Structure 1
Amino acid sequence: MRKLSKVSIYLCVIFICLLCLIPFLVLIILSLNSPQRVFYEGNMFIPDFYLKNFAEGWVKSNIGSAMINSAFITALALIIIVLLCSMAAYTIARFKYRFNTLIFAVFISCMMIPGIINTVPLYTLMIKLHAVNTLWGMALVCAALAIPQSTFVFHGFIKSLPRELEESAIIDGCSWFSSFWRIVFPLLKPAASAIIILNGFGIWNNYSQAVFFLQDSKKHNVPQALSVYFQQFAGAKWNLMAATAVIAIVPVILAFLLFQKNLIRGLTEGALKG
């Protein structure tokens, strides 16, 4: 019975993996088909390996400029998130101030509010800051929406670290601020990796806020560029649209492969005492 249950579990896992991979497989096959090829004609699982789709899609979609914009927005937002949230989580986890519990409860409550609800007040604030149609303004918006969840993850991870690490550094003459940057912050690599993956993908693929804050075509991010490009062809050239989508996915896959080793560790260790 145990062997049968293990086999059934493995079959379920394989089935779920196949369900997740089939859309990407179809996308890759479409991106490699020639312009004359109709997807449902012939053997749909054997592409034509027409590589010119990628070159043509790169030129016509302006996806290269959009990827640079998305990379800048994502990098700046993640730097802000990691620095601010790690310091906020450390203060809440290590110091028993009067309103620490209330502040942490506010962070948790903000996690339950959909980001789209904050778009109107954020847009009003961005107008006053002259940050609409700027990449740094979009990065601030993305960072603000990700701060509650990131602080929660950092808080749980810091609570799992022994307090004696900082206390020994303070005995040796370090301040709390110095002990955080020298002792604690280097140990937050797994949590930071988890936060970078969880928030990085969302920022890279952000469309709902980008429509409001990046109206200039020169400042479009990847989802906006793909949307405009897809509207031009309206389903007439699936091969070019699929090739452009594959190009846009590559940086996300590379980022995941770079940080995935620390993803599970950052989430599980943070959940032990969070």
Structure 2
Amino acid sequence: MNLTRMFSKYALVTVMALLSLIPFYILLYLALNTPSRTLFNGFVLLPDFHFANFSQAWKVSKMGAAIGNSLIIAMGGALLIILVSSCAGYAIARHHNKFHAIVFHVLLICMMIPAIIITVPLYTLMKSIGGINTHWAMILLMASNGIPFSVFLYASFIKVLPREIEESAIIDGCTPFTAFWRVTFHFLRPVTAAVVILQGLAIWNNYGQAVFFLTSQEMRTIPLAVSMFFQQYGAQWNLMAAAAVIGLAPAVIAFLIFQKYFVKGITAGAVKG
């Protein structure tokens, strides 16, 4: 009976994993097809292995510059989110007062507001301060989108850490600020990895706001570079898919680096937090 139940669980997990891989297979299938072939032509399980799509997509979409822009914005935004959210989460978790409670609840409310709703007033603001088509403006914008949820993660994680960690550091001569950065922050690697993955990927894949704030060709990010195959060149599915595969590769590498901390960072504060 136990063997049958275990087999059923593994079979269910295997089926779910295979189903989750179908969109990636279709994307890779389209990326390796010739321009004249669609998904429904020929043998559906085997593409044409037309690797020229990748070089053409790289050249036409200027993918190198797009990856550079995405890296700058994603890394800058993630770093700013980590710095602000970890400090705010520490203050909320360790110092209980009405002001911190109000700030925490305001941040929770901000999590419920879709970012696209505030795009128009933000565009007016950014245009007035010269932030259109600049890296720094997109970094600030992406950080403001990701800080509320990240503060929630950090605060929940820090609540389950014993206070003795920083108290012993303070006894040894550290200030509360240095005790946090030199001692406590060392234990926040799992939640920091979770923030890097969640917020980094959100910034990396952002299209809805990038299309408003990055209008010049030189400032295009990966989603904007991929979307040009639907606008300037029509629906060229093979080039679109090839560009998407190229843009997806750095995100997959980052996930593989941080994935061992990801689940722990998401769930560590869930029970006691």
Q: TM range, normalised to the smaller chain?
A: over 0.9
Q: Deviations over 1:104-130 (max 9, x none)?
A: 111111111111122123223322322
Task: Work out the CA distance in 2 between the residues paired with 1:126 and 1:234.
Answer: 31
Aligned-partner residue type, residue 143 of structure 1:
A
**What's 1:59 paired with?**
59
Task: Work out the CA distance in 1 between the residues paired with 2:221 and 2:180.
Answer: 35
Displacement of 1:82 after TM fit?
0.2
**What's 2:243 paired with?**
244
Displacement of 1:64 after TM fit?
1.4
Displacement of 1:230 after TM fit?
2.8
Is the partner of 1:272 in helix, strand or coil?
coil
Range moving further from structure 2, 98-107 or 140-149: 98-107
| Mapped contact 1:156–1:272 kept (Cα < 8 A) | no
Displacement of 1:19 after TM fit?
2.0
| Mapped contact 1:69–1:219 kept (Cα < 8 A) | yes
Q: RMSD over aligned Cα, in angstroms?
A: 1.6
1:49 aligns with 2:49: yes
**What's 1:12 paired with?**
12
Task: Work out the CA distance in 1 between the residues paired with 2:231 and 2:45.
Answer: 26
| Mapped contact 2:78–2:196 kept (Cα < 8 A) | yes
The count of aligned residue pairs is 273
Q: Deviations over 1:34-64 (max 9, x none)?
A: 3454442332212222222111111111111
Structure 1 segment 132-147 matched on structure 2, within 5 A: 132-147=132-147
**What's 2:91 paired with?**
91
| Mapped contact 2:229–2:239 kept (Cα < 8 A) | no
Task: Work out the CA distance in 1 between the residues paired with 2:186 and 2:225.
Answer: 37
Question: What is the TM-score of this pair, normalised by structure 1?
Answer: 0.94
Aligned-partner residue type, residue 119 of structure 2:
T
Q: 1:122 to 1:179 in 2, by over 3 A?
A: same
Range moving further from structure 2, 130-139 or 189-198: 130-139
Is the partner of 1:233 in helix, strand or coil?
coil
| Mapped contact 1:160–1:272 kept (Cα < 8 A) | no
Aligned-partner residue type, residue 267 of structure 2:
T
**What's 1:258 paired with?**
257
Range moving further from structure 2, 242-251 or 71-80: 242-251
Aligned-partner residue type, residue 51 of structure 2:
L
State the 4+ residue runs in structure 1 displaced beyond 4 angstroms: none
Structure 1 segment 153-164 matched on structure 2, within 5 A: 153-164=153-164
| Mapped contact 2:197–2:254 kept (Cα < 8 A) | yes
Structure 1 segment 73-152 matched on structure 2, within 5 A: 73-152=73-152
Range moving further from structure 2, 46-55 or 186-195: 46-55
Is the partner of 2:183 in helix, strand or coil?
helix
Displacement of 1:242 after TM fit?
1.7
Task: Work out the CA distance in 1 between the residues paired with 2:184 and 2:128.
Answer: 37
Aligned-partner residue type, residue 27 of structure 1:
L
Identity level (%): 48
Q: 1:36 to 1:212 in 2, by over 3 A?
A: closer
Aligned-partner residue type, residue 231 of structure 2:
Q
Task: Work out the CA distance in 2 between the residues paired with 1:132 and 1:273.
Answer: 43
Range moving further from structure 2, 125-134 or 63-72: 125-134
Task: Work out the CA distance in 2 between the residues paired with 1:91 and 1:224.
Answer: 38
Unaligned runs of 5+ in 1: none
| Mapped contact 2:123–2:213 kept (Cα < 8 A) | yes
